Amino acid sequence: MRPTAVSILALALVTSAASLTACSSGSGSSPDTVKVSFKESMDNTVKVTDNYLADIKKQFEKEYPGKKVELVPIKASDADYYTKLEQMLRSPRTAPDLVYEDTFLINSDITSGYLKPLDSYLAKWQDWGQFIDTAKSAARGEDGKTYGVPDGTDTRGLWFDKRVFEKAGLPADWQPKSWDDVLAAARTIKQKVPGVTPLNVYTGKPAGETATMQGFEMLLYGTNDGAGDPLYDKSSKKWIAGSQGFKDALSFVETVYKDKLGPDVSDALDPNYRNTVWGELMPQGKLGINLDGSWLPQSWGKNSGHEWPDWSKDLGLAYMPTQHGQAPGKVSMSGGWTWSVPAKAGNPDLAFDFIKTMQTKANAEKWYIANSGIAVRKDVAGDPSYASAQPGIKFFTDLVASTHYRPAYPAYPKVSTAIQEAMEGVTTGDASVEKAASTYDSTLKDVTDDQVVTQ
């Protein structure tokens, strides 16, 4: 960031904190009201979360006579949402009773003392036994306690436009076997279908965790044989520096932008570019291949504002291959969100009651389908009505078997930012792959207190 941007950001944070304090009397202001804070879409036409929670609010208030639910949406980009949420969690005056936490950030908030362990509640809740172990572990702190209830997970793959592929002479059942195959298809599109962006790989700091996870980690985790984590060495409990896989992943990003196979750099570094991708480029047939997540169809459904009834006919799905096609042949990353109770919440018992209403089998299934999520409840995953509810659900659910989870330890958010900076350097051409990787290694030592092992 430029110095002026830092100053503006600092002012914005101070202003945000002040306004939050001024407009709130604290989550404990009424023992009969539960305040629920969540991320609202930046696109005013996408109301999936708002509509779902409004329905749960009605159910809850009927189930618990005399109790009220106050929904507190935060309309912001991912990065701004995390910042605003952290500001709220610091004080009992501004802390809501229930918050929506991204799993990549939860351990950082646990370490900061912002969240309340839920083990005493979970022990008495029969439905907790229906949640799969990997989802439970995503909300578990290093102290072994659980700080959130997951509401679904996700996987990632390659979305490709069959309309574009037909014009380019590429097969409708396309399935690349290596990175070279992906790049070859993009080059064919560039040559034969002018006016179309061949390949989108999210990149740079403006895209935040989207760049890290949808972009870089989908590459990095395909550079080895899948047996170990290429980002974090669990045996030594240290972060990995100096890996060839890291450089290879950066080289792929560099190639996409240097060879003009991706969007214009100015577009790629627009923090709202993600909305342009699914809201305009994909429906309009102006993007050939998009490396992205399982949740995209929620943007194209009825009353979404971007209705695209033919999306399942116009788009194809392919798994992201490993670098050279080595076993297991495909790669995916999984994340997800959890519902957590702030440590300074005024009504934690009422908050967990709200979680229980949200997480009945029927409500959970309704949510997974509405937001194109992947079920983390065994009873829902095994329900035929879930598997057939939407095109693509089976494809993305099957990827869970070969997916990876981020090493979401307290240092991860800073590690992720360092990855974004390395990506941005090779995207703009300001840094070579070697320089960007070297800078990352130095930053990695700083942000992890030198808890680094060189590969």
Q: How would DSSP label each residue in 257-301?
A: HHTT-SS-HHHHT-TTHHHHIIIIITTTT-EEEEEEETTGGGGSS
How far apart, in Å, do the first and last CA atoms of the chain sit?
Answer: 30
Using CB atoms within 10 Å of the CB of residue 10, give its burial: 0 to 12 exposed, 13 to 18 middle, 19+ buried: exposed
Helix, strand or coil, per DSSP, at residue 150: strand
pLDDT of residue 169: 98
Distance (Å, whole) CA 389 – CA 380: 12
For 156-333+411-454, the fitting CATH number among 3.40.50.920, 3.50.50.60, 3.40.47.10, 3.40.190.10 is 3.40.190.10
Distance (Å, whole) CA 28 – CA 3: 39
Q: Where are the alpha helices (DSSP H) in 388-411?
A: 393-398
Distance (Å, whole) CA 333 – CA 70: 34
Higher model confidence: residue 43 or residue 19?
43
Distance (Å, whole) CA 152 – CA 436: 34
Nearest 5°: phi and psi at 349? -65, -45
pLDDT digits (tens, 9 = 90+) for 255-268: 999 999 999 999 99
pLDDT digits (tens, 9 = 90+) for 88-139: 999 999 999 999 998 888 988 999 999 999 999 999 999 999 999 888 988 9
pLDDT digits (tens, 9 = 90+) for 281-293: 999 999 999 999 9
Distance (Å, whole) CA 15 – CA 87: 11
- What average pLDDT does range 175-181 have in this prediction? 98
Q: Checking DSSP bridges between strand 238-241 and strand 232-233, what pairing results, if any?
A: antiparallel
- What average pLDDT does range 190-197 have in this prediction? 98
Count CB neighbours of 264 within 10 A: 12
pLDDT digits (tens, 9 = 90+) for 309-362: 999 999 999 999 999 999 999 999 999 899 999 999 999 999 999 999 999 999
Distances (CA, A) of 183 to 108, 253, 254: 36, 11, 12
- What average pLDDT does range 299-313 have in this prediction? 88
Exposure of 188 in the CB half-sphere (CA atoms within 13 A) = 16
Segments making up each domain of the chain, as ranges: 25-154+335-405, 156-333+411-454
Name the band, by pLDDT with cuts 50, 70 and 90, for residue 46. low
Distance (Å, whole) CA 174 – CA 180: 14
Question: Which are the contacts of 157, defined by CB distance < 8 A and separation ≥ 6?
Answer: 291, 292, 294, 317, 318, 319, 320, 332, 395, 396, 399
Structure tokens at 234: 């669990």
Distance (Å, whole) CA 38 – CA 339: 9
CA 42-46-49 angle, to 5 degrees, is: 95
Query: What's the chain's Rg over C-alpha atoms?
Result: 22
- What average pLDDT does range 176-180 have in this prediction? 98
Asked whether this chain's domains 25-154+335-405 and 156-333+411-454 adopt the same fold, the reply is yes
Higher model confidence: residue 38 or residue 82?
38
pLDDT of residue 134: 83
User: Quick one: 25-154+335-405 is in which CATH superfamily?
Assistant: Periplasmic binding protein-like II (3.40.190.10)
Task: Specify whether the CB–CB gap between 93 and 26 falls below 8 A.
Answer: yes
Sign of CA dihedral 213, 217, 221, 222: positive
Q: What is the pTM of this model?
A: 0.82
Nearest to 320 by CA among 185, 135, 187: 185
Counting residues of the chain whose pLDDT is more than 90, the rounded percentage is 74
Distance (Å, whole) CA 265 – CA 206: 12
pLDDT of residue 89: 94
Distance (Å, whole) CA 324 – CA 402: 16
Question: Which are the contacts of 278, defined by CB distance < 8 A and separation ≥ 6?
Answer: 292, 296, 299, 300, 306
pLDDT digits (tens, 9 = 90+) for 208-237: 999 999 999 999 999 987 668 999 998 999
pLDDT of residue 29: 62
- What average pLDDT does range 172-197 have in this prediction? 98
pLDDT digits (tens, 9 = 90+) for 411-434: 999 999 999 999 999 999 999 999
pLDDT of residue 83: 87
